[in-house]
Structure 1
Amino acid sequence: MTTSSFAGRTTAVAARATELSKIYGQGETQVVALDRVSVDFAQGQFTAIMGPSGSGKSTLMHCVAGLDSFTSGSVRIGDTELGSLKDKQLTRLRRDKIGFIFQAFNLLPTLTALENITLPMDIAGRKPDRQWLESVIEMVGLSGRLGHRPSQLSGGQQQRVAVARALASKPEIVFGDEPTGNLDSRAGAEVLGFLRNSVRELGQTVVMVTHDPVAASYADRVVFLADGRIVDEVYGPTPDAVLDRMRSLPGGGPRIPSAGAEGRVG
């Protein structure tokens, strides 16, 4: 099993990127979205990824989660190397080992809350672990809403359903892409609290992309990207500490490499 040092102790790694690069286009229009990024995400930890717009934070998450291809380097989920998988194998890995929470709730309007929560397992022909499912539903406070359809739920309640759906299959790792982006501050704080508790109480691993220093402060660790590279990280973050680091980062979008950079990056 792959391990990493976290806060002075050895911890198993849920996901690892090594020398990961993602390049769009060719020649003069070539854009480097990720520039040889190496990062570990420890099991049972909550990591936030931050950076200016265009820094590569969502690209990093999508590549590590198997939602997007990468140009070079490697990605492992547990002991599985993503680059060696065929499409069907990658689909199966995403279904069986990864949970996703997006800014858009992505619920099916004709299904009840409970049916939306168990849908990925139903599609896979797997029965949920009833005790685990009940723990997840209780944690996100949905016990009295399971028969409601999305249109009968508030935005915050819909995102609770999405959180429960991501956790219900006992994934090895949960990825969140701006999961509180469509919520007001109170509903956002509730969802972040549920993610925090899933790490603390259920031993879940969570990786979240966010632009919000308050959201990032719920994490154990914040990784900062700028220009497609990891430039800093903070453990035990506070909103003020995160905001200070963000202000000091180089601004802006993905880099257009200078002549001769292709061989170095790719």
Structure 2
Amino acid sequence: MTQTHTAPRPAPHAVAAATAERLTKSYGSGETRVVALDQVSVRFEAGQFTAIMGPSGSGKSTLMHCLAGLDSATDGHAWIGDTEITSLSDKQLTKLRRDRVGFVFQAFNLLPTLTAAENITLPMDIAGTKPDTGWLNQVIETVGLSGRLKHRPNQLSGGQQQRVAVARALASRPAIIFGDEPTGNLDSRAGAEVLQFLRNSVRELGQTVVMVTHDPMAAAYADRVVFLADGRIVDEMADPTAERVLDHMRRFEAVGRTS
């Protein structure tokens, strides 16, 4: 990865849960070069639920993957807390993701032979760490799984399986949770349940959540929405409602059709 400038370490008093500074991601070269992220600078504050939205191909998933250490940037800098992840080795990134980052994806990614309880603690079991029993019980209660811990995935509904995935992401008490279309495989009722649990994890457990979504209803659960278009942040909204988000998205689409 090429870096053409050195970024200062964020001041301790101003450290966000995740930060991007002039983050760029491109593919190919010359006439075939495609820019997925174009010098994006953004902060995601601790204890806040942020949604990332934009048209297909706007760079929203790429931004999340670069911030989470799942993909490398072409240029620029990204931090989790005060750790600059763009300078870490693969081994260091793996450790950081394991210890400080939680993930919830569209696919539930549960192991079918394990119970819900075993799926929740699996990352910690692999890492050889013991869960904080008090915190784990609080997470399980928050996501409403107390009566389902001995069930295997095929004995759970889609919404319940995604709740297991949310609990798994929360179980190690990570610094930040990234969600990539976490309700994409769920019906509207189950999706609303999972979003409410993510909302509750921020409000009641002090968690930080950054979620990529295309759904204005999902974005309305967030404290803030960041809008991307053509690899750049073009707007943001505090205290979103589904109607206001939908209106923003329609305007972006209209601009795209006329440009």
TM-score class, shorter-chain normalisation, is over 0.9
Could you tell me which residue of structure 2 aligns to residue 237 of structure 1?
240
Q: Is residue 107 from structure 1 mapped to residue 110 from structure 2 by the alignment? A: yes
Contact 2:15–2:82 at 8 Å: present in 1 too? no
Percent identity between the two aligned chains:
77
The question of whether the paired residues in 2 share the 8 Å contact of 1:175 and 1:208 is answered with yes
Counterpart-to-counterpart distance in 2, 1:3 and 1:162: 34
The 1-side partners of 2:59 and 2:157 are apart by 31
Q: What's the offset of the Cα at 1:53?
A: 0.3
Aligned residues: 247
Give how far 1:251 is off.
Answer: 3.4
137, 141, 155: which is aligned to 1:134?
137
Residue in 2 that maps onto 1:27: 30
Extract unaligned runs of 5+ from structure 1: 5-9, 253-266
How many angstroms apart in 1 are the aligned matches of 2:237 and 2:85?
28
> Aligned residue for 1:15?
18
1:212 equivalent in structure 2: 215
Determine whether 1:251 maps to 2:229.
no
Asked whether 1:86 is paired with 2:89, we answer yes
Q: Are residue 146 (structure 1) and residue 149 (structure 2) matched?
A: yes
Distance change (3 Å), C-alpha of 1:82 and 1:12: closer
CA distance in 1 between partners of 2:201 and 2:132 (Å):
16
Deviation at 1:83, TM superposition (A): 1.5
Equivalences for residues 37-52 of structure 1 within 5 A: 37-52=40-55
Please tell me the residue identity of whatever aligns with 2:28. G
Equivalent residues of 1:11, 1:42 under 8 A apart: no
**CA shift digits 1:153-212 (9 cap, x unpaired):** 110000000000000000000000000000000000000000000000000000000000
* TM-score, structure 1 as length reference: 0.91
Contact 1:52/1:251, CA 8 A, preserved across alignment: no
1:60-115 deviation digits (Å, cap 9, x = unpaired): 00000000011000000011111211111100000000000000000001110000
Per the normalisation by structure 2, the TM-score is 0.93
Cα RMSD between the aligned structures? 1.4
Q: In structure 2, how many angstroms separate the alpha carbons of the residues matched to 1:223 and 1:64?
A: 14
Moved segments of 4+, more than 4 Å: 1-4
Q: Does structure 2 conserve the Cα–Cα contact (< 8 Å) formed by 1:105 and 1:159?
A: yes
User: Which sections of structure 2, spanning at least 5 residues, go unmatched?
Assistant: 1-8
In the alignment, the residues of structure 2 paired with residue 2 and residue 155 of structure 1 have an alpha-carbon distance, to the nearest angstrom, of: 40
State the match for 1:225 in structure 2.
Answer: 228
Q: Please, which of 178, 186, 189 is the counterpart of residue 183 of structure 1? A: 186
Equivalent-residue separation in structure 2 for 1:180 and 1:138 (angstroms): 20
